[in-house]
Amino acid sequence: MLRPRIIPCLLVSNKGLVKTVNFKNPKYVGDPINAVRIFNEKESDELTILDIDASRLNKEPDYKSIEYWASECRMPLCYGGGIKTVEQAQRIFSLGVEKIALSSEAVRNPEIITQIAERVGRQSVVVVLDVKKKLFGGHELVTHNATKSAKQNPLDFAIQAVKLGAGEIVINSVDLDGTMKGYDLDLIRKFKSSISTPLTVLGGAGKLDDIESVIKEFGIIGASAGSLFVFKGVYRAVLINYPDPETKDSMVSRAMNY
């Protein structure tokens, strides 16, 4: 039976684990491999690792680090950052990664979605859309850590990405990143009603109730979070955490009315 997925999202900069607020001011919070090992113990559904420097600085993916993370990871791993070619994607898959995430390159060159999907299967191709509110209403699609506007409607691009072969769409709210104020439910509604492919939402989760609310309204969905699983308490002390299996199952059951 398909179930909602609860997915920690780790941001990596200069080989360190960092957290941002509104995609700005990355704060070092530790070693990524330690977080991977803790999420193994916590039996996380999946894990996403995004290198936030690679595309912005036009760098190759850090294959050595990716191999290290994948070798330690006992759950499905999605990696994103710096992927521009089918050959790069295939090399990353050969290191033990189950999914690759495309963002700025998918916007610049949408055909890369089809090229990789045809080679490895669409179920392994994730397109991450960084979405930001516009000054006078609506949303815009942004890239390169929200420093560039793609000048495209995010929902229109999501629909196009699915047609091109994306097996999953991630909606990442720039405005709520790191704020821990809750997900943008209105934004999620627009996407959930318009695309049939698996959808994951990221940006804003501050407590488990936020995840439960998303699952209760949207059912089979990926609920991803960074700060929620990295910080603890009002003072945002660094503590890698994830709900234990019993708590997670109970929360999902309540939300899905099992």
Active site amino acids: 130
Distance CA 226, CA 100 (A): 18
Distance CA 98, CA 136 (A): 39
Q: How far is 120 from 123, CA to CA, in rounded Å?
A: 8
Helices 63-72 and 86-94: crossing angle, nearest 10°?
40
Half-sphere exposure of 83 (CA within 13 A, CB side): 32
Using CB atoms within 10 A of its CB, is residue 55 exposed (0-12), middle (13-18) or buried (19+)? buried
Listed residue (56, 60, 62) closest to 85, CA to CA: 60
Strands 5-13 and 16-21: antiparallel
Query: For residue 249, what are the β-bridge partners?
Result: none
